[in-house]
Structures are given as C-alpha cells and as structure tokens.
C-alpha cells in the first residue's frame, strides 16, 4: 500500500517509452498538436492494458479487446514541415491519460492540455 501523498511512479517500461518519445520529439522539433472531430463509428485506439503489457509487446487481441467506447477526437502530431507523425483516435475517457503520458515527453505542461482535447 502506498502513502496517499506519494505520486504514482511509472514502470521502467513506461519510462523507456517516454524516453523514446522524447528522443523522437527532439529529432523532429517541437511538435504541434491538432484536435479534430472523427466520423461516427471510429474506434478508440487506446487500450486498458497495464503499461508494462502494452509497451513490452504482451498486448494481444486475446488479452485486450481494446477500448469498447467510440472515439470522439482525433489527435494529430505534426513537427515543422514533416507530414503527420502520429494520429491517435481517442474516446472521452482516454483523452486525459493520453495527455498525461505524452505531455512530459514533449515538454508541455501537464495541466495545460491543447484546447479541445479535454472537455470539462
């Protein structure tokens, strides 16, 4: 049991994923994040697997059916004149976890998500 005043710690696999994302961000320059609407019926790309399972390759269709909720936003990452680096389709429930994981890697303030990403 952890004390309530302690911040949750990321697993070593999640830290490695953040390091790789930060390296990619440095290579491509500071990314631009764009939020768009998605067509009805688009699936959320986020899963509910623990970080270790998803990042270490133990994520399989048998182990995790993915998020059952439909996506409500498309989050695109751009860097300078480069084409789209990554496109995520996220449901309302997974917008905040996605931002919390990637904001630190990109050097953005976690408490200031892009407009339209997290609705109140």
pLDDT digits (tens, 9 = 90+) for 77-98: 877 666 666 788 999 988 988 8
Q: What is the mean pLDDT of residues 100-112?
A: 81
Cα–Cα distance for residue pair 71/89, rounded to 1 Å: 6
Q: Is residue 18 part of a domain?
A: yes
Section 69-80 average pLDDT? 84
What is the distance of C-alpha 74 from the center of its chain?
11
Tokens representing residue 87 in the block: 């496109």
Count of the separate structural domains present in the chain: 1
Q: Is residue 115 part of a domain?
A: no
Q: Please check the confidence at residue 53 and state whether its pLDDT lies above 70.
A: no
Q: Which helix (H) or strand (E) holds 25?
A: helix 12-28
The answer to the question of residue 3 being in a domain is no
115: Cβ–Cβ under 8 A, 6 or more apart, which residues? 35
Q: Which domain holds residue 47?
A: 12-22+32-106
Amino acid 107: pLDDT: 77
Looking at residue 8, what is its pLDDT?
56
User: Does 72 reside within a domain?
Assistant: yes
- What does the mean pLDDT of the chain come to? 76
Residue 112 lies inside a defined structural domain of this protein? no
Count how many Cα atoms sit within 13 Å of the Cα of residue 69 in the half-sphere of its side chain.
Answer: 13
Q: Chain-centre distance of CA 84, in angstroms?
A: 15
pLDDT (average), residues 9-29: 69
């Amino acid at each position: 049991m952890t004390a309530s005043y302690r911040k949750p710690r990321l697993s070593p696999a999640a830290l490695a994923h953040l390091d790789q994302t930060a390296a990619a961000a440095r290579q491509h320059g500071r990314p631009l994040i764009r939020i768009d609407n998605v067509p009805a019926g688009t699936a959320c790309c986020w899963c509910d697997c623990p970080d270790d399972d998803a990042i270490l390759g133990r994520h399989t269709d048998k182990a995790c059916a993915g998020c059952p909720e439909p996506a409500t936003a498309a989050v695109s990452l751009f860097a300078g004149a480069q084409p789209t680096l990554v496109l995520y389709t996220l449901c309302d429930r997974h917008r905040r976890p996605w931002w919390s994981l990637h904001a630190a890697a990109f050097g953005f303030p976690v408490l200031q998500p892009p407009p339209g990403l997290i609705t109140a």
